[in-house]
Structure formats: C-alpha cells, structure tokens
Chain A
Amino acid sequence: MAKMNKIRTPQGLEALRNSLLQQRDPKKPRVRVCLGTGCRARGSLDVAKAFMNEIKKQCLDIQVECKQTGCHGFCERGPVVVIGPKEIFYQRVKSRDVPEIVSKTLLNGEVVDRLLYINPATGQKALYEYEVPFYKKQTRLVLANNGRIDPTNILDYIAIGGYQALAKATTTMSCEEIIDTVEKSGLRGLGGGGFPTGRKWRLCREAAGDTKFVIGNGDEGDPGAFSDRSLMEGNPHSILEGMIIGAYAIGANQGYLYVRAEYPLALKHLQIALDQAREYGFLGKNIFNSGFDLDITINQGGGAFVCGESSALVASIEGKMGEPKAKYIHTVERGLWNKPTNLNNVKTWANVPLIINNGADWYAEIGTEKSKGTGIFSLVGKVNNTGLVEIPMGTPLRQIIYDIGGGILGGKKFKAVQTGGPSGGCIPERLLDLPVDFEKLTAAGSMMGSGGMIVIDENTCMVDLARYFLDFLQNESCGKCVPCREGTKRMLEIITDITAGRGKEEDLELLQELAETVKDFSLCGLGKTAPNTVLSTLRYFRDEYEAHVRDRKCPAGVCKDLIEYVILEDKCTGCGACLKLCPQQAIDAYGLIHTIDPAKCVRCGICRDVCPFEAVIVR
C-alpha cells in the first residue's frame, strides 16, 4: 500500500492534486480551528473537540469538514476559528460558543456578531481575516498557509500546491540553476546572521568532498520569539520541501533537523511530516526519478540556548558537548563530522519553495535593496496585538507596532522596542521610523536575530531590562571562552549593583568597557552579541542609568531598592483594601488615612494594585 503512494513524476503530483481539489469543494462549509501553541493555551483543543461533537449532532444531512490548523498569528485574540466557505473570522471563541456557531453560521449562514473582531480605533467589526488591521498590513508569504492546512496531513499541503517546487527543481532545473535562482532572489539567512543563502549553497556545493550534509536549525531559544516554532508546528512540509531542494542543489544526501526538546508539538508535527514525505517518495531513494537520494532525521536539542549557534549545534549533533568553536574554516567547508555542511534556519528553508515556484525576480521585488523578501517577527510585550507578524523587509518599526500591533497596551507611552531577542538591542522612540532590515537594525545597535520584537512601555526600567537579559545570557553562556563567561558575569554583577542602589559613578565606564571587550573578544555569536542590550541601553537611555547611580532613583519605578510606595493623603479613603492584603503588615491605619511603613514594606506593589482610588503611588 505504502509503495503505491510514491510519486515519481510531476504529472503524478499534478494528478494527485487535481483529484484532491475535486474532492474538496471550496463551497462546502468547513471549520478551521487554530491549534497553534498560543490558541492551545487559551483552550482551542476544547473548542476543536466541541466542534467535532456539535457537527456530529447538528449537521446530519450535510458534510462539514473540521480542520485543525497551525498558528494563524493573531495569538492575542485566540482561540481563532475561521468558518468557510465565507471565511468568517471569529476570535476568542470558547467551547460554549460552538453550538451557536454551528447552528447559526454553519447551517444558516448567519454571523455571530459578538465573536467578530472589533477594531478598537474605529469601532467597526471585521467579518473577514483581511479586514482585521492586524492582518491587513502584513504580507504573508511563508506564513500564508499556516492557518489553511492541517499540518499533520500531507494531502492538505499537496492540495495547496505543495511539493511542486520540488518537482520543478528536480525535473526541470539543474543544480546550478537552482543555486543561481536562490542567489538572484537575494534570500538571506533568516536565523539572524543574514548571510546570502545562495552564496552559502554555492560554497557548500563547491567544497571538496562527496559526503555533504544539510541542517535545518529550529533551535529557537530566545525569550519572546516563536516564529520558528509556529512554522514548524503549522507548516512543517514547507521546511522539508525547502531542505530537499537545497540538498539536491548542494549534493547532500543526509539532512538533519535540529529542534529544541521544549517544542514537543513542533517535534511531533515534523516527525509526522517526515514519515509522510517518505511515504510519498519525497524523501528516500531516487526522488522524482532524478537519481537523487535524501533522508532527513530529527535531532532533539537538550535545552542549551547556545546550541542555536551553528558550530555548537553541529557539535551537539555529533554527540559532543554543545560548545561553539571558531569558524575561521567555514561550516560549508568543514562542518558536521568535518564534512561540508549547509546550515540554514527553518524559515530560510521555507522560503525556498516560494522562490522556485515564483522565480527569483518576484522575490527580489519584495523588500529593500539589500534585504529581500519578508521578515517574520514575534510581536510581544506591551502591545495590544500580540502575535506573529510577517512584513516585507524595510517596513518601518512604527508601522509594525502601531498599525499591526495596534499600539501600546493600556494607552501607555512607548519607550523602546527590543528586537532580536536577548542578543539584540533596544531601539528608542526617535528611531521608530527605522525601516526593518539587516543593515539598519545593526547600525542602530540591535539586530534581526531570530525575530523577537518586544515592545517596552514607560513602566519598564531599561536598566532592569538589561539586567534581565544579561541574567539570561550569563546563565546560557557555555563558559568556554573567558570574555563571555567572566565578562557577562561581571556585567551582571555591576548592573545588579546599579539596580540595587549600590552603583558608583565609575561603574558606567567599566560597564561600557566590559561590554565592548566582550563584544569584540568572545568566541561565538552568543558572546559577541551578549552586550548588545547593555550597549544599546547605555547609548539611548543613559539618563536612566545615571538616575540610578547619581540620584539613587529608578525613573520607571521598577527597581525595588530605589523606590518607595506612598499613600496619598488626599486620595485615601481609608477603605482598608490594602491593609488587609499587605503581606508584611506594613500599612498602619491611624484614624482614617493609611500610611506605609517603609522599613517593613517589601515593595511588592499589592497595595497599589488593589487600591480602588489610585491613592498608592511609587516615588
């Protein structure tokens, strides 16, 4: 049976696709429930189950398809449900809404008004996905099919035109042509490095040796980033297809997917996709009768952030300690087991089928002069629309944060945006019109990184933020080279002193010197970028550091040792709400007005949170 499934010719693939499309009437009612990690956390598994039950109960005479898809991107409003054939977009759907959706929308074509997205700016309701401002300004190429297909079903991927790029590449294009196309498209490494992908492939193809490897890097470890994850969970076949095309062009017969163990769903979906691809003959021997063999296996990461760095990742696959080594001889020449190895991020691989299908010129038209295509960002932090954003390179930060992200949470003031995860830097408000591409972000002291984008509002202390990221990085430093191991530790020591009010004037100079040396002298990308947050906050928010050191004040009211909670006499009504909840019994109630005893207060902030009259302030 399995053998019969194998597809050997482009015609065979086309025939299968046509028969699938015939079976799938686009006019048929269907339900697509987002089962991405964000929506799962909000209970979309229950919603999907409720849909199955309810469809069985109510839809006796018509057939309704219920699809469990990958991440739709709009995680803030999850669980997201899209009802076909009209593609009505429901958000924040609970299981208890399901019977109503089935009876009204599915059976009678009516819209359940309260589940529609309301544009907070205009108050208008959005009926369809493309009417939601969050999606309107995006250009979804790589993520386009995430919400349309069931990631565990290869037929869904084939039905939307999947593996046609592979068929085209292996049957009509030479290896040189493929590499030329990728090079001409201007695709660059989307893991953060931004190395031209075509050039990397060419170097690997030309490297001496018969045995070559391709690796897909899905070890996304940055706090706040989840773009690789959503792609692996939502559209694993697009990654595989890109890798197979790449391996064919380079001449590799073995591929590895390195995925962190903390992504169990991604691992599961990738494994299913691999099995299915093997079943259909897209992996294995003689792919599309081209005489080209390839197999791909999954390697699970063991929980070290540094293993996202290419040489550490290679060491980890080899079974060694996940430690980077100097890359003066490139991985494309001597990588995995000292053989030429081409390593790309999973997002980069997923771009390849698009380029092969649509041509290099089509791709090169998107983006800026030096950064082509789209960038995928995990928009998180103090922003209204948390979620996954795909925009053409060169889109200004302001557009991402305000038009797509819907502005700052709670109408607060924007302070900075941190791009590139812990290794990136903070970009201040005056640079908000900065177009997002590799060069511009680097020039601003940040980086593209793995595509995290953390929005920071006025209530965040930049020194404390730098301390948080440094703490993460010094924990994740492998400890091999001195500047990274000792340097990040000392930087953390200094910055902790500053946040604790023990900072000295000369500490800022020392911090700057230390940061520059760690950046220059570290062995791998982790150490080289570790001081970015410190350097960029020192560059753009030096006044906050100075306030901590000179005035012993935290302007944002975050650093516990430098702030004081005070009850305003004129606002306090003596209601006793804070009194009851204070864990330290630090609040005295003489007469009506309450006061806080600073000696007892631990600055937990509960009193401020519970006060109904906003009488508790931070000084």
Chain B
Amino acid sequence: MVTLTINGAKVQVEEGSTILEVARFYGMDIPTLCYHDELTPYGACRLCMVEVDDGRRTRLVASCLYPVREGIRVRTNTERVIKGRKLILELLLARCPSSKTLQDLASKMGLEHVRFKMENEDCILCGLCVRMCAEQMGSGAIGFVGRGQNREVVTPFRMASEICRNCGACMYICPVVDLQCRGVKSPGELCNSCLVITPQCVEKYGQVMCTLNSCGACLEKEEKIV
C-alpha cells in the first residue's frame, strides 16, 4: 500500500494504481477524453493533468499514466491546471465545434468563447477506437497514419479492411462522433445552453425533470412561449 495526499486528503491505495484511478475511486472528478477503464492509458488528451509535489519539485503530470508513489501530494484543481485544461478544451472545440461531448465539457468547465479560427472536423484523435479495436476486439483493423496536422485514423492503405468485422466497437467508444450538439446553430459557435440551464429551469418550470439531460431544449421552448 502507498500513502499519498490528494487534494488535502490522506489516502491509502494499492501500489501500481494511477492518480486518475485513485481520484475517481474517491469521487474526485478529473476530466478525460482519451481514457477508458478497460484500455491502456494513452496520455494524449492532456485534460487529466494534475499537479504533483514529490518533495523535490512540483510538476504537471498526466494522471491517467502517473503511478502513485509514497508521500506524493496531488492537487487536481489548481489554477494552473484549470487554466491549461480550459485552453486545451478551447483548442479541441475549435477543431470539432459540433461535438456534444466537448460542448458539455465546455459548459461544465465554464469555457465561454473560443478565440481561434473554427474548423469543422469530427475526430479529436484520442485513439480510443484504435486501442479498442486492437486490445478488446483483438483485431487491429484501424490505426494512426501521418504526423502532426496530417494525423488521422484509417484502415491500412485506406482500403476496406479484411480483418474488420464491422463490430462497431470503434463507434461505440468514440467520444465525439455519435452525439452532435444540437444547440449549435452554425459551425463555429459555442452552444453553452447547458451553462445556464439549472437556474432558469428551476425558476420558470418548477416541475421540469429534464435537467439531467442537459440538452437545452427547454430553453428553446421558453423562447417560443415568450
């Protein structure tokens, strides 16, 4: 067992676990996009970065990969962490503005506007589908090609894969493709309906039950009534 401090709480955890696992076990929320319980951690989205003080220095580490060590002090929500996470999310949103997953995260983290030129991509290159296909489906039908801006997920030589069984696991695990944010009217806009949903709904519709599904539909309705 390893003892560490996480956001001020002293906890004992099994050796070999990662900071993210510990934090989630104790109910502390760390946002992730490229992490899944059943897949090898990848450390690419960098949203899960936390500050770790190991006695010698404080540094930012990817919590999904960092194995817990005796005596470290972890802080998951420092100003530096939040600021960086927001900017990374802003960068991702500028790439894929119609992704509901990203729009929801933006609302949750209080991101209000994107300062970059908007694009309209689908894929955030988190690599979940690639790992899913290789690790859980035992197939490895898709992979990354290209470098930097040209990086994309494709089948070998961009031809219909012989080993793909059309199982759909890649689509199942994809965090961005399936759900499109319905609040976005034109590509490039930040929806943010979900940001303001709680107080307005409660004020105007005492009985509204839909707050859990933060789709913002009630707001639209409200506009129509007025």
Contacts and interface: CB of A to CB of B under 8 A. Distances in A.
Contacts of B143: 321
15 contacts: A304-B147, A328-B65, A328-B67, A474-B148, A474-B149, A476-B147, A477-B147, A477-B149, A478-B147, A479-B151, A481-B43, A483-B84, A486-B95, A490-B94, A523-B46
Interface in B140-169: 143-144, 146-151
Interface string A484-517: 0111011001000000000000100010011001
B109 interface: no
A482 B92 contact: yes
Contact of B60 (A321, A474, A475, A520): A520
B61 interface: yes
Contacts of A490: 91, 94, 116
B91 A475 contact: no
B80 A520 contact: yes
Interface in A445-497: 474-483, 485-487, 489-490, 493
Contacts of B144: 321, 479
A374 B96 CA distance: 49
Contacts of A329: 67
Contacts of B148: 474-479, 485, 489
Interface residues of A, number: 32
A311 B60 CA distance: 19
A521 interface: yes
A325 interface: yes
Interface of B: 43-46, 49, 60-62, 65-67, 80, 83-84, 87-88, 91-92, 94-95, 115-117, 124-125, 127, 143-144, 146-151
Contacts of A4: none
A483 B90 CA distance: 10
A2 interface: no
B44 A514 contact: no
A522 interface: yes
B62 A326 contact: yes
Contacts of B117: 493
A521 B46 contact: yes
A479 B147 CA distance: 6
Contacts of A510: 115
B149 A479 contact: yes
B155 to A, nearest CB: 15
B116 A493 contact: yes
Interface in A319-345: 321, 325-326, 328-329
B144 to A, nearest CB: 6
A485 B91 CA distance: 10
A500 to B, nearest CB: 14
A517 B151 contact: no
A521 B84 contact: yes
A506 B115 CA distance: 10
Closest 9 pairs between A and B when the two form their complex, measured CB to CB? A479-B151, A486-B91, A477-B148, A326-B65, A479-B148, A517-B87, A521-B46, A517-B84, A326-B43
Nearest to A325: B43
Given A482-B46, A482-B88, A486-B92, 19 more contacts: A306-B147, A326-B65, A328-B66, A479-B144, A479-B149, A479-B151, A480-B44, A480-B151, A482-B44, A482-B91, A485-B151, A486-B91, A487-B91, A489-B149, A513-B83, A521-B88, A522-B46, A523-B44, A523-B46
Contact of B46 (A304, A474, A483, A513): A483
A521 B44 contact: no
A510 B45 CA distance: 21
B67 to A, nearest CB: 6
Given A328-B61, A523-B62, A483 B88 contact: yes
B142 to A, nearest CB: 13
Contacts of B150: 479
Nearest to B49: A521
Contacts of A506: 115
Residue among A477, A483, A517 with most chain B CB within 10 A = A517
A485 B65 contact: no
A479 B125 contact: yes
B60 A485 contact: no
Contacts of B146: 479
Residue among B45, B67, B84, B127 with most chain A CB within 10 A = B84
Nearest to A328: B66
Contacts of B65: 326, 328
Contact of B43 (A474, A478, A487, A523): A523
Contacts of A478: 147-148, 151
B149 A517 contact: no
A520 B116 contact: no
Nearest to B145: A321
Interface string A31-58: 0000000000000000000000000000
A511 to B, nearest CB: 11
Interface in A120-175: none
Contacts of A522: 46
B91 A520 contact: no
A478 B91 CA distance: 17
B121 to A, nearest CB: 10
Residue among A329, A480, A482, A490 with most chain B CB within 10 A = A482
A304 B116 CA distance: 28
Nearest to A303: B147
A1 B88 CA distance: 64
Nearest to B88: A482
A513 B86 CA distance: 11
A306 B148 CA distance: 11
Contacts of B151: 478-480, 485
Contacts of B43: 325-326, 481, 523
A522 B66 CA distance: 14
Contacts of B84: 483, 517, 520-521
Nearest to B61: A328
